């Protein structure tokens, strides 16, 4: 399949944000990256009275309907206006990599080829992993699912560092602080109603219509997961963000919560940043767009202390940007900007470790390879890359009738999970979702029906983010090393999840929408038996995909060799430098990291402000 390189159709509507040199030479804080980690943090610091410069490599698309209207999330992730293409690997095995059905190639004529039979002369790119270079970061192009990690995902930080502020019980207060709930009656003590992040749910009234074939799927899923099939109309309205005892062991339907409002408008750090800039209080926040940070500057007179950043300015400077000028070889002129207090890196799981390494912080041998002066040997930088495994069971109805259905959201535990926690988040409906590639998703016709799933608690976090060069415009070499550790266990859990979902879809085969043809993981008439565990394991091993990269600058104890930051987000071995984004999670935080990352962003602001009150400016 060939896909046209998309063109940017809508330019930024907010031109008042700075796109050149900053208005001041020095700030209290410089925050690098405006996504779920950096955006709320910069706004919080400014609202506390600290002069803060927020640097963003992209522009602002907050008024662009492609991003503002949540229903357009597929278009947003494909849009060249903000898209950064990272071409990643899932393993070190070239033959295995070429089995990935959505492997992408550059044809050389301005198009991509996606598939297993590229045209002669096409250049192999790899597996697309799109990120968003835009004010608000990847929270501007995702599906905006707002979910929480398992309690153990928070508590692991307590166990590693002894910092009880990371306990699951305490972390709920940050959800309450940021949330503006638009779907629950006021007064729930665990939820927020006056924060900056709107949350809402969809209409689940379809589950009251007993004539819909999808209701049979819903009731079968209820039976298979220990729920009452006769109560599904109520169960599908369960609150995804509920706070009940042993919630992580509860198999339940939910109404998928999203960080959007009741009018279908996306809510993200973009909204909070813009509200802070527009506030009559005139908070000291400066936002500088189209600015790529090339390195952090240090004062090395005693213990290394971060004092500023070096930047280049202009659109599409990073080579992940499909609009980047491939003919530009020389690095544009650099500018230095200084901070009186701290530098905070919030570039995400790929760019934060890259920037640390370019600045001299990382594995000493890797930095020496590129003649980067060593500031601090931290072997964990760029290691421990983790992600959820994602896959789907896709069936095509062989009748002329589509499977009329609302969205079914279910969290459940496969029988072979190693502990009592639910390990699969699935959503089923009349859509197609098979991963990410230029031009995704594929439309399989009006009778398509999919159960997509996210595998939680992956056992293998063995991925790496390595430098390709010392040029800050180059993308890093990213290898997720899927299934490298305890792979058979993870694969077995995916297979068991697929078996349950297959039985549910097959239950509708005797209705007017059936029979179904299974497209994957098995091929052929949809039954209840599948095509065999080993065949299905091989499918997931070669075709699993992901979009929730984390953990490359992981929080850990002071004596942990691979720890990068402490429980207050401070980079070990230097002063005045923190990392605040999804890269700090020691493990992948549940099924969707967007809301958890916004939560730790405001936690970091709380930690930084508390420390600033006690510490005079150096």
Chain center to CA of 344: 19
User: Alpha helix locations (H) across 141-212?
Assistant: 151-161, 168-178
Long-range contact list for 532-535, CB < 8 A, 24+ apart? Answer: 533/492, 533/495
Q: Which of 569, 578, 485, 499 lies closest to 537, judged by CA?
A: 499
- 486 is an annotated ligand-binding site residue: no
> Which one-letter DSSP state was computed for residue 309?
E
- 381 is an annotated ligand-binding site residue: no
Beta bridge partners of 300: none
- Cβ-based neighbour number of residue 92 at 10 Å: 10
CA dist., res. 107 & res. 125, Å (int)? 10
Which value, in Å, is the radius of gyration of the alpha carbons in the chain? 24
- 201 is an annotated ligand-binding site residue: no
Give me 462's structure tokens: 């063995």
CA dist., res. 612 & res. 41, Å (int)? 14
Q: Which residues contact 190 (CB under 8 A, 6 or more apart)?
A: 172, 175, 176, 243
Collapsing DSSP to helix, strand or coil, 181 comes out as strand
- 143 is an annotated ligand-binding site residue: yes
- Cβ-based neighbour number of residue 18 at 10 Å: 18
CA dist., res. 37 & res. 269, Å (int)? 9
Could you tell me where the beta strands, DSSP code E, fall in 472-514?
Answer: 477-479
Backbone torsions φ then ψ of 198, nearest 5 degrees: -70, 140
- 504 is an annotated ligand-binding site residue: no
- 293 is an annotated ligand-binding site residue: yes
Annotated binding residues = 134, 142-145, 293
Binding residues for FAD are 134, 142-145, 293
């Amino acid at each position: 399949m060939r896909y046209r390189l998309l063109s940017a159709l809508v330019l930024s509507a907010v031109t008042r944000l700075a796109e050149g040199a900053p208005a001041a030479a020095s700030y209290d804080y410089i925050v690098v990256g405006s996504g779920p980690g950096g955006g709320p943090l910069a706004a919080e610091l400014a609202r506390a009275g600290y002069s803060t410069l927020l640097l963003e490599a992209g522009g602002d698309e907050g008024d662009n309907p492609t991003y503002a209207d949540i229903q357009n999330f597929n278009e947003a992730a494909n849009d060249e206006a903000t898209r950064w293409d990272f071409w990643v690997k899932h393993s070190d095995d070239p033959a295995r990599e070429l089995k990935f059905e959505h492997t992408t190639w550059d044809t050389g004529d301005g198009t991509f080829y996606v598939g297993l039979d590229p045209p002669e002369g096409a250049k192999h790119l790899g597996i697309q992993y799109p990120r968003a270079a835009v004010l608000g970061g990847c929270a501007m192009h995702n599906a905006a699912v707002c979910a929480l990690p398992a309690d153990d995902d928070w508590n692991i930080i307590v166990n590693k560092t002894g910092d009880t502020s990371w306990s699951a019980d305490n972390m709920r207060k940050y959800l309450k602080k940021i949330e503006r709930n638009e779907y629950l009656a006021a007064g729930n003590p665990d939820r927020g109603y006056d924060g900056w992040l709107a949350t809402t749910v969809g209409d689940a009234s379809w589950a009251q219509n007993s004539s819909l074939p999808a209701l049979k799927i819903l009731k079968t899923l209820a039976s298979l997961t220990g729920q009452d099939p006769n109560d599904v109309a109520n169960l599908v309205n369960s609150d995804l963000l509920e706070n009940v005892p042993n919630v992580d062991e509860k198999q339940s339907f939910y109404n998928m919560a999203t960080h959007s409002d009741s009018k279908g408008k996306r809510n993200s750090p973009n909204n909070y940043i813009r509200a802070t800039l527009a506030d009559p209080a005139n908070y000291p926040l400066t936002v500088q767009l189209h600015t790529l940070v090339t390195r952090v500057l240090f004062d090395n007179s005693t213990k290394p202390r971060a004092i500023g950043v070096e930047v280049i300015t202009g659109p599409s400077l990073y080579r992940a940007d499909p609009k980047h000028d491939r003919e530009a070889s020389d690095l544009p002129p650099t500018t230095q900007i200084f901070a009186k207090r701290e530098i905070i890196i919030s570039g995400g799981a790929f760019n934060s470790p890259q920037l640390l390494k370019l600045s001299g912080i990382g594995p000493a041998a890797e930095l020496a390879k590129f003649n980067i002066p060593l500031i601090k040997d931290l072997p964990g930088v760029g290691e421990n890359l983790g992600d959820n495994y994602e896959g789907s069971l896709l069936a095509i109805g062989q009748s002329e009738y589509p499977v009329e259905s609302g969205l079914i959201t279910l969290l459940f535990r496969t029988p072979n999970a190693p502990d009592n926690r639910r390990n699969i988040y699935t959503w089923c409906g009349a859509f197609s979702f098979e991963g990410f590639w230029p031009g995704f998703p594929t439309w399989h016709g009006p009778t398509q029906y999919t159960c997509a799933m996210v595998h939680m608690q992956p056992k293998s976090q063995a991925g790496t983010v390595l430098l390709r060069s010392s040029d800050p415009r180059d993308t890093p070499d990213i290898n997720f090393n899927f299934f490298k550790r305890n792979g058979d266990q993870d694969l077995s859990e995916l297979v068991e999840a697929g078996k349950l979902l297959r039985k549910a879809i097959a239950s509708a085969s005797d209705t007017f929408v059936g029979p179904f043809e299974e497209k994957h993981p098995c091929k052929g008439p949809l039954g209840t038996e599948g095509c065999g565990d080993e065949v299905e394991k091989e499918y997931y091993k070669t075709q699993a995909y992901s979009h929730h990269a984390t953990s490359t600058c992981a929080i850990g104890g002071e004596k942990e060799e691979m720890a990068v930051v402490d429980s207050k987000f401070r980079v070990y071995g230097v002063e005045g430098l923190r990392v605040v984004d999804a890269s700090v999670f020691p493990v992948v935080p549940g099924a969707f990291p967007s809301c958890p990352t916004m939560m730790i962003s405001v936690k970091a602001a709380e930690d930084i402000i508390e420390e600033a009150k006690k510490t005079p400016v150096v």
